[in-house]
Amino acid sequence: MKKTIAVELNRLATEQMNPAAANLDCQSALGIARIINAEDAKVSDAVKHALPQIARAIDLIAVALSRGGRLIYVGAGTSGRIAALDAAECPPTFGTKPRSIQFVIAGGAKALGRAVEANEDSRALGEREMARKKPGKHDVVVGIAASGRTPFTVAAIEYARRQGAKTVAVACSRNSALGKAAHLAIVAETGPEIVAGSTRMKAGTAQKMILNMLTTGAMTRMGLVYDNLMVNVHLKNEKLTERGLGILEKATGLGRTQATELLARAHQQVPVALVMAKATVARTKAVQALKKAKGNVRKAIVLA
């Protein structure tokens, strides 16, 4: 068993030594920073090659969420933490409900703050943790693993697929077990890391970029972004209230005083205020239009 794992790891590009980082420990601080920066510059290109697959995943997620389904991320270690971050940031950015975008991480919540490496080797735990989410035909489950071989994540994706969920793999290695387990594989080949095997670096950056695209793309397709403004933001603190006012000013051309008054009439709901202003309707009609449009602001303006 250990020999098989060793062979698998030795074949992975992410585990190889990077010639660009030869004698890294002999470099000055500026030298180290320059080498890392030069390698990081390659990440965007690696992600660019996966754009068609990313686009397909965006549409899968948008359809699922618009029908009341969920996006469920699953990963271990760095991949799981990046997934948790993206899931946590969607409600304040797009006004989504916490149940809509969830995450499963090997080792549970405690793994967010400290490493719980052993759990990622367990297929049984991966299946069990995913089973707790009760994935089904309305959901999209996205598995993230730089190597594409993490047993916990592969088993979770296999289970979700058996239950009828659409499944997506995000990996940095081609022809991986994770990619084969999912309906759709997104592969960003970032190559050897500056510190061999430390996939928190280029691979982690690629994963963050991809997850940003998946959720931002899906939310935009669902109309929770108007133009390029996060109009579905919830005004829960002073900063977000200021942002909401700024959004209204930019989208409507109103002055500060007018935008403040409009937002008050809209009960501090930016999408409602925007529909009121653009369609010249009362709050009640704007709310009804947004409900019919399932939150899609641009469609709601037309309906109103």
Q: What is the pLDDT of residues 25-45, one digit of tens each?
A: 899 999 999 999 999 999 999
Within a domain: 174 = yes
Low-confidence ranges of the chain (pLDDT < 70): 1-11, 117-118
Structure confidence at residue 115 (pLDDT): 76
Within a domain: 117 = yes
Structure confidence at residue 9 (pLDDT): 57
Catalytic annotation present for 249: no
Q: Could you say which of 172, 189, 221 is where a domain stops?
A: 221
Structure confidence at residue 8 (pLDDT): 60
Residue-number span of the structural domain to which 252 is assigned: 238-303
Within a domain: 227 = no
Distance between CA atoms of residues 18 and 191, nearest Å: 8
Within a domain: 3 = no
Within a domain: 72 = yes
162 and 77, same domain (yes or no): yes
Query: What is the number of other CB atoms lying within 10 angstroms of the CB of residue 33?
Result: 11
26 and 105, same domain (yes or no): yes
Question: What is the signed CA dihedral for 251, 254, 258, 260, rounded to 10 degrees?
Answer: 30
Structure confidence at residue 246 (pLDDT): 94
Token duo for residue 44 = 């965007």
Distance between CA atoms of residues 133 and 164, nearest Å: 13
169 and 258, same domain (yes or no): no
Structure confidence at residue 228 (pLDDT): 94
178 and 246, same domain (yes or no): no
143 and 263, same domain (yes or no): no
Catalytic annotation present for 120: yes
Q: Could you say which of 165, 187, 221 is where a domain stops?
A: 221
138 and 62, same domain (yes or no): yes
129 and 264, same domain (yes or no): no
* Dihedrals phi, psi of 43, to nearest 5 degrees: -65, -45
Give 28: exposed, middle or buried? Use CB within 10 Å, 0-12, 13-18, 19+: exposed
Choice among 120, 127, 189, 193 that is catalytic: 120
Within a domain: 232 = no
Say how many domains are in the chain.
2
Within a domain: 2 = no
- Going by C-alpha positions, the residue among 128, 168, 172 that lies closest to residue 149 is 172
186 and 216, same domain (yes or no): yes
Choice among 8, 15, 39, 89 that is catalytic: 89
Contact between 224 and 246 under an 8 Å Cβ cutoff? The reply is no
Within a domain: 228 = no
pTM summary value: 0.90
274 and 165, same domain (yes or no): no
Q: Could you say which of 195, 221, 247 is where a domain stops?
A: 221
